[in-house]
Amino acid sequence: MTTIIQTIDTADGPFTILADDRQRVLSSGWTDDQAAIVGRLAAATRSATVREGETDAAAATLAYYAGDLTAIDAVAVKQTGTALQLAGWAALRQIEPGAPLTYTGFAARLGNPQAVRAAASICARNAPALFVPCHRVLRTDGTLGGFAWGLDVKESLLAREAAAA
């Protein structure tokens, strides 16, 4: 399998997208370091061939930044993980822009409000950032918590979504 990688400019800095040959996003984030994006994938799932090219997800990203917050919803992603991780990543895609959840609320959506650490782990292991919006999950006290791409990016995304909601 060959993968395609593309970096575009956004209001939050360079954004790099790694997609498979079927245009499903495998990994993405706010960096121009392509190795960092590929490195978000488990070694067993990485493609031997990565080439620069155009991804369908780039247009959705630019539309999101232009104000169409739902543009990212239609982007196909491909993730590999446990049943709980896959369920968690699917649940993240159901969180509405402008209506973030706490880790406790997210754990409750997964059927176990006590599983806060598992919920946080699901967010931390989410490779296709933005398209699987883990940035929409906050600490129980409402503070930002962690984000692989920096709290400034997370804060910017949440502010953009709150303003449009």
CATH of the domain at 106: 1.10.10.10
Q: What band does 72 get if pLDDT is binned at 50, 70 and 90?
A: very high
Supply 148's token pair: 């692989």
Task: Report pLDDT digits (tens) over 123-149.
Answer: 999 999 999 999 999 998 989 988 999
Mean pLDDT for the chain?
95
pTM over 0.85: yes
23 and 94 inside one domain = no
Domain extent, residue 153, equals: 83-164
165 pLDDT above the threshold of 80: no
Rounded distance between C-alpha atoms, residue 118 and residue 124, angstroms: 10
Task: Exactly one of 134, 137, 148, 158 is catalytic; name it.
Answer: 134
Rounded distance between C-alpha atoms, residue 30 and residue 20, angstroms: 19
Determine the average pLDDT of the residues in 69-94: 96
Residue 92 has a pLDDT of 97
Supply 15's token pair: 């954004």
30 and 52 inside one domain = yes
Does the annotation count 123 as an active-site position? Answer: no
Rounded distance between C-alpha atoms, residue 156 and residue 161, angstroms: 9
Q: How many residues does the chain have?
A: 165
Rounded distance between C-alpha atoms, residue 31 and residue 7, angstroms: 8
C-alpha 153, offset from chain centre: 12
21 and 67 inside one domain = yes
Determine the average pLDDT of the residues in 63-78: 97
